[in-house]
Chain A
């Protein structure tokens, strides 16, 4: 008996010494603590929209968006100009240094842009830059980009989260995920994968007043409930991407608030290249079973206030949006359309979605309830977000995916609705839509451009492959946080944030 006690004691002691130690901080520092759900650092260029606090703080972009006004503001580029939209001249900020001490020059911009065409990388902006004819760097702080065809809104692409400016001398292929490096307001000091990242103030940041905080601590907490428990316990200050139910809970408590910096989309994509939705009558039948009021309540919101619904890729909040009245829920009509399409006894279809993404499971289950009376049976196939995105997305007859809003809708149209778009999840192949998307990208006159947008939305309403449910992106913050900024580019601007 004594032997076993001794064995236990020795074991405990050994464990204790192995874990003891760890420095005590005494200095008063302003620290922002964020709980992010995704422990992911992907080589820039192939980000699928995650770990924004980390990526957004390490890297800078040529152009930023003002979170309050929505206007484009200078960042690494101080000014840009293009008389006809074909030749673009960017003046770069002087005296900017990368975290490794090297100077930021036009060569780095050239490297970043040319990298989009690397076939091994699979860069998500590859299509947008196919239009590139040549990049010239007349001096260290000027970049002249010549396009094959005019693109009047080309500058918007530089706000995209995948267009982080990289150093031409750094090995991103092997270090992009373990030791990311840019010119951003915070530098990565220590990364414990799947657990936490410590970022410290970049003292050489080009905007001398920023960042306001000394330190950024990012915890990778895999589930949202645990993240919010940590917020309530004061262990973290900011939890992005919370669910609407958690919003209700936080609002009922003292000391917390929920900010909704922008709306994002949930696209219900009906695949055009396979049964049953290849037949537009089936798509229409499905649309006739919708009830936006019910969907809004399933998302714990109110239609027209926090939740919006339409059947085109353009979100209601944008100037390009064309108001088309809702067709109304009509089960008889849906049944009739299904019968015409050859499904008099109804049909059953697999519906893939990310079960752990905010709104995902609730929307999926509500859609199943709504479409059942018409004889459309949805087989719900929910997967963890990473498995959904890597295995099933772009690959099923019906999908539910979260989409961020692009500042310039033509970027999204090219990405997801052009027949050659890399993220064309509904496999749409409509020559007229392709033609309109290309015209929108090349048209200089805003009024003419709007007529293309109008026609495009009408086509989508009648024969489109998408239902666009817009939900608020929600961030839970403690009352100690001031100035949490996050424009629709989705990149949080934590350099402005302070903690009381």
Chain B
């Protein structure tokens, strides 16, 4: 019952957040300087052509009416029409790119989750010794690097030096991403660089505290094999905070994709956002930013629920959200 209550409460807040963000994004983008119709038609447009387009797009309607029209479209799954490419529905471009970014994010997840858990556990077990110091230094350093810096280093090594992986990525016409998995490797590695630090640090510190817990000490004192204790008992309990941090970072990761995708020219949501900004394609900017926000809110919500579900102490605890 408590769980359901918490679920309902969090869900309500999540929806409220999305609603508030949609208002914020819409007004932020719409109040920016520059006439939208003029942007579409260019500086040499005649007054008549600007007026005609303003009329067709309903730009002279009051702001709240335009918001309702826009938000209503969103709820029905209609993201509107691109400004930059007239006659092109955003839906026809958007979901394909989102799909590519999801695959990229999952690939990165596949790289960094096992890697950082493994090294985090290792560092935690060897607390205070040389391996711990090295792992935590590497984690700290890679975490601090902006994605494009680690990306440039990766390009220099793997694409320019060894020439084994592509610098830029396109998906040939008629093929799909699965036939071109090599274009995922360098972008996913750049993300791994950044995420490794966060996750391995979290894994290490929870491992350290679990290893100090009485029941683990007791198990070791009882003469149970150390490896068995670490992997059967300690890890099980030390994973929970790590899962939380991975989930929480999913939304953040989607924001970071903008930099990575720009560097590699990867055809995903990030480069779509960038190109929308560069061409001032207002409806497309709104769709991209709202979706990134949505991913963030959704990831937070899911993680929260997963945490509550997996952690009995929270599941049965009375208390505030």
Contact = CB atoms under 8 A, between A and B. Distances in A.
- A–B direct touch in complex (beta carbons closer than 8 A): yes
Interface of A: 1, 3-4, 8, 11-12, 15-16, 18-23, 25, 35, 39-41, 43, 46, 48, 119-122, 124, 174-179, 190, 192-196, 198, 217, 219, 221-223, 225-227, 229-230, 233, 235-236, 356, 384, 386-387, 389-391, 393-395, 422-423
Contacts of B274: 222
A235 B172 contact: yes
Top 6 closest A-B pairs, CB basis?
A226-B265, A226-B168, A229-B168, A178-B87, A122-B49, A119-B48
A140 B92 CA distance: 40
Contacts of B166: 229, 233
Interface string B252-271: 00000000000011010001
Contacts of A19: 99, 103, 176-178
Contacts of B34: 391
5 contacts: A41-B85, A48-B42, A194-B272, A195-B267, A390-B280
A395 B43 contact: yes
Given A178-B88, A229-B167, A190 B43 contact: no
B173 A198 contact: yes
Given A122-B44, A387-B280, A225 B272 contact: no
Nearest to A424: B44
Contacts of B265: 221-223, 225-226, 229
B216 interface: no
Contact of A22 (B38, B103, B176): B176
B310 A177 contact: no
Nearest to A421: B44
Interface in B233-288: 236, 239, 243, 264-265, 267, 271-272, 274-275, 278-280
A389 B41 CA distance: 10
B9 interface: no
Given A15-B103, A226-B265, 15 more contacts: A18-B99, A19-B103, A20-B176, A43-B86, A120-B48, A122-B48, A178-B88, A193-B88, A193-B92, A195-B267, A221-B170, A222-B271, A223-B265, A391-B280, A395-B43
A43 B52 CA distance: 15
A353 to B, nearest CB: 14
Interface residues of B, number: 58
Nearest to B274: A222
Contacts of B179: 22
A174 B168 contact: no
B16 interface: no
B314 interface: no
Contact of A386 (B93, B106, B167, B278): B278
A390 B39 contact: yes
B19 interface: no
B271 to A, nearest CB: 7
B259 to A, nearest CB: 14
- Considering residues B41, B82, B86, B93, which has the most beta carbons from chain A within 10 angstroms of its beta carbon? B86
B92 A389 contact: no
A179 B306 CA distance: 47
Contacts of A175: 87
A229 B148 CA distance: 17
B173 A46 contact: no
A198 B175 CA distance: 12
Nearest to A171: B87
B15 interface: no
Interface in B38-59: 38-46, 48-49, 52
Contacts, number: 156
- Considering residues A11, A21, A22, A226, which has the most beta carbons from chain B within 10 angstroms of its beta carbon? A226
B96 interface: yes
A227 B170 CA distance: 9
Contacts of A356: 278
B173 to A, nearest CB: 5
A35 B264 CA distance: 15
A46 B42 contact: yes
A177 B88 contact: yes
B67 interface: no
B41 A46 contact: yes
Interface of B: 34, 38-46, 48-49, 52, 82, 84-88, 92-93, 96-97, 99, 102-103, 106, 109, 166-179, 236, 239, 243, 264-265, 267, 271-272, 274-275, 278-280, 306, 309-310
B93 A195 contact: yes
Contacts of B167: 226, 229, 233
B199 to A, nearest CB: 14
A4 B99 contact: no
A389 B280 CA distance: 11
A22 B106 contact: no
Nearest to B47: A119
A394 B44 contact: yes
B85 A193 contact: yes
A187 to B, nearest CB: 15
Given A195-B93, A390-B40, A177 B46 contact: no
- Considering residues B102, B170, B264, which has the most beta carbons from chain A within 10 angstroms of its beta carbon? B170
Contacts of B168: 221, 225-227, 229-230, 233
Contact of B278 (A46, A121, A387): A387
Nearest to B166: A233
Given A178-B85, A386-B279, A12 B106 contact: yes
B44 A124 contact: yes
Contacts of A12: 106
A122 B45 contact: yes
A43 B145 CA distance: 44
Contact of B173 (A3, A217, A226, A394): A217
A121 B49 CA distance: 6
A390 B41 CA distance: 7
Nearest to A43: B86
Contact of A119 (B49, B96, B170, B280): B49
Nearest to A4: B243
B275 A222 contact: yes
Nearest to A179: B87
A280 B281 CA distance: 39
Contacts of B41: 46, 122, 390
Nearest to B81: A178
A196 B176 CA distance: 13
Contacts of A22: 174-176, 178-179
A452 to B, nearest CB: 26
A41 B82 CA distance: 12
A192 B172 CA distance: 12
Contacts of B43: 389-391, 393-395
Nearest to B100: A19
Contacts of B279: 384, 386-387
A190 B73 CA distance: 26
Nearest to B36: A390
A225 B262 CA distance: 11
B49 A422 contact: no
A40 B99 contact: no
B195 to A, nearest CB: 15
Nearest to A217: B173
A190 B239 CA distance: 48
Nearest to A197: B173
A11 B105 CA distance: 12
